């Protein structure tokens, strides 16, 4: 899993998260551009119990906030200034249907009108039960799903002292929530679904399925149809040369393969073309190296001649507590 997320975010998840939020809806950038949104800053308030609370307000993952603020405490003190990583580079895949980037803990939905992209936080498979990369489609839409835990899930639960029934009926206590999308991959064992434990969204805790906040899966469920294409990728490093010539990279901590790996230092599988991008005279190799080391999870300007201050100062929007959700919904490039 991503370093420190198991302990710190499981602790944070002990608190309930009650705020409702909508997906962050970005206008699609013009052809040749992948940059959308603006980073935001948020001042922690007295009522903000933990990073999960703040993440839910902005409909993002607490792990992404930890990446962007690598010295922040899981329960930050009131008055702490937090960067909300709401600027991003779109994944380097066709802008069609559902795209999941496991390394980002994000789901992208590209509506058929071709004018926007909706971005949702996501929970994915835990160590040993990783969500696989795949190219598939939505095979079935299931409202009010029942849950039939597999023998493996029942055995793991028994080892923790929990006896699961053979079938969990639909309702508020169902781990699949109110809506599920069955993927036409393998034997149909992988779902995108809701959850009765919203504090687990944004973590690696599932048995391979992908879970969303209840409001988010409802919004997605109502828009997609059977046959909608689904692409699940793992791209911790994204890069772009924008139409104005600016060069960006966005680096996330990679998903570890065992508990002992340090995701701040482990090596990457780099995207095709990245070596050429790095060594181009228009790129600043030193800034690229700093961004690859920092792994902040949001786009950084790495054009030759750009200063580190210029990389972020022009793309940060200050948001007040009472207007946080509205501002997140309205954020544009």
How many other C-beta atoms lie within 10 A of the C-beta of residue 265? 10
* Helix/strand/coil for 121: strand
Q: Which residue has the tokens 């895949």?
A: 93
Listed in sequence order, the residues at least 6 apart from 289 whose beta carbon sits closer than 8 Å to its beta carbon are none
Q: Which of 57, 106, 137, 193 is catalytic?
A: 193
Taking Cα atoms as reference points, which of 123, 116, 122 lies closest to residue 37?
116
The two structure tokens encoding residue 267: 């090596």
The two structure tokens encoding residue 92: 């380097």
How many CA atoms does the CB half-sphere of 114 hold within 13 Å? 3
Taking Cα atoms as reference points, which of 80, 48, 22, 31 lies closest to residue 216?
22
Strands 247-251 and 210-211, by their bridges, are unpaired
Exposed/middle/buried for residue 194 (C-beta within 10 Å: 0-12, 13-18, 19+): buried
Residue 212 is among the residues annotated as catalytic for this protein? no
DSSP 199: G
How many other C-beta atoms lie within 10 A of the C-beta of residue 332? 11
DSSP 323: G
Q: Which of 23, 62, 209, 217 is catalytic?
A: 209
How many other C-beta atoms lie within 10 A of the C-beta of residue 189? 12
Segments in the chain forming alpha helices (H): 10-12, 51-57, 62-68, 151-159, 214-223, 274-279, 285-294, 308-313, 324-330
How many other C-beta atoms lie within 10 A of the C-beta of residue 246? 18
Taking Cα atoms as reference points, which of 5, 59, 91 lies closest to residue 299?
91
Residue 209 is among the residues annotated as catalytic for this protein? yes
Q: Which residues are catalytic?
A: 193, 209
């Amino acid at each position: 899993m991503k370093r420190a997320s198991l302990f710190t975010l499981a602790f944070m998840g002990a608190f309930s998260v009650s705020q409702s939020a909508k997906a962050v809806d970005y206008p699609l950038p013009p052809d040749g551009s992948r940059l959308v949104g603006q980073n935001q800053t948020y001042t922690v308030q007295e009522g903000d119990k933990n990073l999960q609370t703040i993440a839910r307000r902005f409909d993002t993952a607490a792990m992404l906030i930890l990446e962007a603020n690598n010295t922040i405490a899981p329960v930050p003190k009131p008055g702490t200034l937090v960067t909300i990583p709401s600027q991003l580079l779109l994944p380097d895949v066709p802008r069609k249907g559902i795209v999941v980037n496991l390394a980002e803990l994000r789901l992208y939905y590209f509506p058929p009108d071709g004018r926007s992209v909706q971005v949702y936080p996501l929970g994915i498979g835990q160590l040993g039960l990783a969500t696989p990369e795949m190219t598939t489609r939505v095979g079935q839409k299931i409202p009010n799903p029942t849950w039939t835990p597999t023998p493996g899930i029942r055995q793991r639960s028994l080892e923790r002292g929990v006896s699961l029934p053979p079938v969990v009926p639909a309702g508020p206590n169902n781990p699949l929530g109110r809506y599920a999308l069955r993927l036409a991959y393998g034997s149909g064992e992988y779902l995108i679904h809701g959850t009765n434990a919203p504090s687990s969204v944004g973590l690696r805790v599932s048995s391979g399925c992908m879970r969303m906040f209840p409001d988010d899966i409802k919004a997605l469920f109502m828009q997609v149809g059977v046959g909608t294409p689904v692409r699940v990728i793992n791209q911790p490093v994204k890069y772009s040369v924008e139409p104005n010539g600016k060069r960006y990279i966005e680096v996330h901590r990679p998903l570890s393969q065992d508990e002992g790996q340090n995701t701040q230092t482990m090596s990457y599988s780099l995207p095709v073309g990245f070596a050429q991008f790095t060594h181009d005279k228009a790129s600043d190799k030193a800034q690229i190296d700093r961004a690859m080391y920092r792994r902040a999870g949001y786009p950084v300007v790495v054009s030759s001649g750009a200063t580190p201050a210029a990389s972020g100062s022009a793309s940060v929007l200050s948001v007040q507590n009472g207007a946080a959700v509205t501002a997140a919904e309205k954020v544009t490039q």
